[in-house]
Structure 1
Amino acid sequence: MHLGLWALEVMAGKVVFGTPKEVQASRDLWAAMNAPREKPQPTEKAEIAPAPDAGAIPLPSIVETYGVFDVRDDGTLVCPNSRPLAGPNLPRENSQQGRVLKALTMQRGGTINSLRKAYAKWEQVAVELCRRLDLELIYRHDGHEVDGIVDANTKVFVRRRLPRAA
């Protein structure tokens, strides 16, 4: 206790101890430690305009609901995140088939990488699942419908199978 009081007196300059250089350095440190902290001033942030998404496919509007899926005006299906993937004919949500179906019906369709994460052999599972649920796979690359996977930027969608013309 006595030592602490003595150290405070040295810092306050009431007692001379050590070389003047050491004492001054200690006093400066003590003053800095006990000084009120300065509030950081807000910095001006330059407004950054969003980059144009040149390769984005415009989202069609939702026109109806089909089972747990919303149907867009182009016929593709989307399963909103808030809606569980459940139904009498649908696979369990965390099964391999359920993960593939969920990835296929994401907001902008499943990218190849998201589908590979769902299941390595996603295409076999998706084809079988679509056949069973009377759906079909469609592929889009650079905003155009293509026959199959072009590269990792190809988006895959699920669409209700259109009735065949008689």
Structure 2
Amino acid sequence: MNIEIKPTQDTEQLSENLEERVQSSEVKDGKVVIEIDEENRGLMERTPGIEEYTVDGETFEGLKGRPVQEKAYARLEDKRDVAEALLATMEGYDLVVLDTALDWELKLLRRFNPDIKHLTSGRSEIFDVEKTLEDEDDREKIEYDISDEEVEVLNRFMQPKSLERGEN
């Protein structure tokens, strides 16, 4: 199936991000046109940088945000960290997750950006990361002021639709 995507910004970056997840991706008239299998259509709801997308003449709202393009460190220790990591992903940050035991949550975040890296020991300079979601002296901190209710909403939003409906 062909899908026409109106990006929020940086059409070329969005096309590049989608390339490895779809059968084909190209830029035409300021939009990204992809070919994708019907069963993978849900990808459009989870990809940062999509304003809206059109399938068979019907237009749907995208996730918004900006295409993933800038690296940032994140540590996942609780639901708040996971919610902040989701927000960062939606704002275009390609996360490098430092050692975490929250494997399920990391898997859920990878639905939004499969290129998220997981380091099991320390930091690595090969990633050239200048920003972080945690308190650190030598990197710029990305901060989110979100309430407990917003944390819960974001964590529910990440769950696959089948789990939200109680299906197995």
* TM, length-normalised to structure 2: 0.24
* TM, length-normalised to structure 1: 0.24
The structure with the largest strand share of the pair is: 2
